Amino acid sequence: MFPADTYIKRRKRLIDDVKSGVILFLGNDESPMNYPANPYHFRQDSSFSYFFGLDLPGLAAVIDVDQARITVFGDDVTVEDIVWTGPLPTLRENCRKIGVENTAPSAQLENILKSAVRNNRKIHFLPPYRPENILKLQRLLGVQPDQAKSRASVPLIKAVVAQRSIKSAREVEQIETALEVSYLTHTYAFKNAKPGMYEWEIVGGMDDIVHSRGMTASFPIIFTIKGQTLHNHYHGNIMQAGNIAINDSGIESPLHYASDITRTIPIGGKFTDRQKEIYRIVLDCNTKAIDACKPGIEFRAVHALVARTVLAGLKDVGLVQGDLEEAFHAHAHTLFFPHGLGHMLGLDVHDMEDLGEDYVGYTDAIKRRPEFGWAYLRLAKALEPGHIVTIEPGIYFIPELIDRWHADKKCESFINYQKLLAYKDFGGIRIEDDVLVTEDGRRLLGQPIPKTIEDVQNLSS
């Protein structure tokens, strides 16, 4: 964990920002895979981690904002527990490390909250996403499960988002630690993915690199020759010479900060001319978008820059035609680039998505657009120093989407469907990097991972 002072300062600012009432933070519990004693790998709730740093199941915390009193609830292990777990620090010992003096057994949480409710105190909680915590809110506060998200506290969400969005030097360091391992997994995949292998052989090799450094993946690895499916987690295809494999993978640092990098690998070591044409456009989008990042620029403008670059590039290839500005306003790019350019990165890969993307990426003045493609843009608001964002343009040829648009004659004057039909077996290309917004511009985080056609081909075999 970080030094206690970090957590003390974060909680103090939270109290200042929320102003009054009682804040309830529910940490995560163990989550059973198939029976309770066989749980998934434990992952603490990210906001609990941010304010309390304790990477343990079964904890909750209450901040009485009016009295600036902070209590962490949990249970010490019994002798019977120790038979299975070995001796563990007490809650009091753990809390000292994060600057919290008051601790109490879990059983007291219910009484304290019920008395706060009786006294008409406002109870702030964040939107829950785990079933256990949804049920706890029902038991502790009488919140019906189907209302647990809508009754979350907007002032608390906004206060948490405001703090977590601006990364400190220590947090940047954590993400760069994750990126050191991303460098290793990505260069490993370039060097080792060969015709005749199953995708899972490369996924297994990357897993080894991550786990042998005591770390874990920040999300299930996307490694696929069918990259036209954006979140394809199947790893059972045999790679053939001439395929392109998308490797979208990330690492969690020791303090659970994420990296998120995508590279596209020519299986057999060489891109075809057709692949090179599309790859160059995506790389151009990636570098232009990174160069555009600076304080004050709205991320939706960077997304639009990429959308226009996709259209211009595809016009050169002959897949797009007509007036490019008109094509952009008709959303023709969304056939090829249906997702958003990027998202914030931090303790979560899609940072704070559980708190509500519109609180993280939008403002009262900048609202999410409803159209296909634009609706998936997770971040639209102006960038600020301390934001860490991903830049992840891609071009995909999704057969079902092409067929649907073609049948509907959608954007017919802007898309050369006759030529496009020959691309239905192409797959997809994505190139993703992680970028810190600085006072005067941006810094690409981590050791650069090869991405030019020449560098990528030199590394691949």
Minimum separation from the CB atom of position 389 to ligand GLY (A): 11
* Residue 199 contact partner, candidates Mn ion, ligand GLY, none, CB within 5 to 8 A by sort of partner: none
Q: Count how many residues are written for the chain.
A: 461
What DSSP assignment string belongs to 347-405? Answer: SSSSTTGGG-HHHHH--SSSPPP-STTGGG----SB--TT-EEEE--EEEE-HHHHHHH
CA 413 → CA 146, 192, 320, 327, 346, distances in Å? 46, 43, 9, 9, 42
Which residue of 64, 351, 354, 392 would you call a contact of ligand GLY, by CB under 6 A?
Answer: 392
* Residue 64 contact partner, candidates Mn ion, ligand GLY, none, CB within 5 to 8 A by sort of partner: none
Minimum separation from the CB atom of position 169 to Mn ion (A): 23
Closest by alpha carbon to 335, among 233, 433, 224, 428? 428
Show the tokens assigned to 3: 């030094």
Indicate the residue among 248 and 252 with the shorter CB distance to Mn ion.
248
Q: Which residues bind Mn ion (CB under 5 A)?
A: 248, 260, 390, 392, 432
Closest by alpha carbon to 53, among 308, 61, 372? 61
Indicate the residue among 18 and 261 with the shorter CB distance to Mn ion.
261
Q: How far apart are CA 250 and CA 260, in angstroms?
A: 4
Indicate the residue among 134 and 445 with the shorter CB distance to Mn ion.
445
Binding of residue 248 to ligand GLY (CB under 6 A): yes
Minimum separation from the CB atom of position 133 to ligand GLY (A): 24
Instruction: Produce one character per residue of 122-155: b if its CB has 16 or more CB atoms within 10 Å, e if not.
Output: bbbbbbbeeeebbebbeebbebeeeebeeebbee
Residues between 408 and 427 with contacts to ligand GLY, criterion CB under 6 A: none
* Residue 219 contact partner, candidates ligand GLY, Mn ion, none, CB within 5 to 8 A by sort of partner: ligand GLY
Residues between 217 and 246 with contacts to ligand GLY, criterion CB under 6 A: 219
Indicate the residue among 64 and 432 with the shorter CB distance to ligand GLY.
432
Closest by alpha carbon to 209, among 255, 169, 178? 178
The one-letter amino acid at 242: G
Minimum separation from the CB atom of position 248 to ligand GLY (A): 5
Indicate the residue among 71 and 174 with the shorter CB distance to Mn ion.
174
Minimum separation from the CB atom of position 70 to ligand GLY (A): 34
Indicate the residue among 94 and 247 with the shorter CB distance to ligand GLY.
247
Beta bridge partners of 124: 23
Give the contact letters, 332-351, x = binds to ligand GLY (CB under 6 A), - = no.
-----------x-----x--
Which residue of 45, 199, 260, 357 would you call a contact of ligand GLY, by CB under 6 A?
Answer: 260
Indicate the residue among 360 and 420 with the shorter CB distance to ligand GLY.
360
Minimum separation from the CB atom of position 264 to Mn ion (A): 12
Number of H helices, E strands in the chain: 16, 15
Q: How far apart are CA 247 and CA 439, in angstroms?
A: 31
Burial label for 201, CB within 10 Å (0-12, 13-18, 19+), is middle
Give the contact letters, 162-201, x = binds to ligand GLY (CB under 6 A), - = no.
----------------------------------------
| Residue least distant from ligand GLY (Cβ) | 248
Query: Using only C-alpha atoms, what is the Rg of the chain?
Result: 24
Minimum separation from the CB atom of position 222 to ligand GLY (A): 6
How many chain residues bind ligand GLY (CB under 6 A)?
A: 7
DSSP 58: S
Q: Which residues contact 384 (CB under 8 A, 6 or more apart)?
A: 165, 166, 295, 437
Indicate the residue among 134 and 398 with the shorter CB distance to ligand GLY.
398
Indicate the residue among 224 and 390 with the shorter CB distance to Mn ion.
390
CA torsion, ordered 352, 365, 388, 309, to nearest 10 deg:
120
Minimum separation from the CB atom of position 63 to ligand GLY (A): 32
Minimum separation from the CB atom of position 210 to ligand GLY (A): 15
Indicate the residue among 140 and 347 with the shorter CB distance to ligand GLY.
347
| Site for ligand GLY, rule CB under 6 A | 219, 248, 260, 343, 349, 392, 432
